[in-house]
Amino acid sequence: MTGKIIELMKHGHILVPMALLQNYKKLKLTDKELIVLIYLLGANEFDPEKMSKDLNIKLADILKLIDSLTSKDMLKISVKSGKVCEEYIDLDEMYNKLAMSMINDKEEAPKTTIYDKFEKEFGRTLSPMEYEIIGAWIDGNYTEQLIELALKEAVYNGVSNLRYIDKILSEWHKKGIKTENDIKKDHEKRNKQKPKKEVFDYDWLNEKD
């Protein structure tokens, strides 16, 4: 994606709102849709064929991207009346969405991240390597909720390192454990399987010499 944006900038100066780059994922836009919007910000006219050539994207795909952006209320195609009717892209909807997104960001209270929770439980700042490991868990098979539960399990057992937590997550993954309820059931199952200690009925108070 970065390469295409650089190519766009080389062929002309495009003023891209920082809010668009910061919030396009939140607005559920794909990387290609972002590229199309950036292109349209610097375009003087709506010419799908030229867009296809400049962006090296098939014309059919360009039209699909435009249709998708229209359905997401990021733009609309209007017709300019005159001697010759011309289509042009109206990006007012995009600016409205960006403005609303920025307002919502300011109103939202700062959220505690999974990294904050680890630092709180460990009582120290995480190392860059630890950030990478936790990030890999999130990008992999584990939800943040499950990672947090594994953290609690480790702390409960008096262990505060990621290697131990990774073993917990790996074991849960093998068992198909995904929720807190699954963990409770697993604990109950293990407790039932523990051998009961034999208790002898011994009256040590009346022991005879």
Average pLDDT (6-14) is 60
Q: What residues contact residue 58 under an 8 Å CB cut-off, 6+ apart?
A: 52
Residues in the chain, overall count? 209
* Residue 49, token pair as written in the block: 């064929």
Domains detected in the chain: 2-107 (1.10.10.10), 114-190 (1.10.10.630)
> How far is it, in rounded angstroms, from Cα 122 to Cα 143?
20
pLDDT one-digit tens code per residue, 55-79: 899 999 999 999 999 999 998 888 7
pLDDT band with cut points at 50, 70 and 90 for residue 36: very high
pLDDT one-digit tens code per residue, 108-120: 555 678 899 999 9
Q: State whether the Cα torsion 187-193-196-197 is positive or negative.
A: negative
pTM above 0.75, yes or no: no
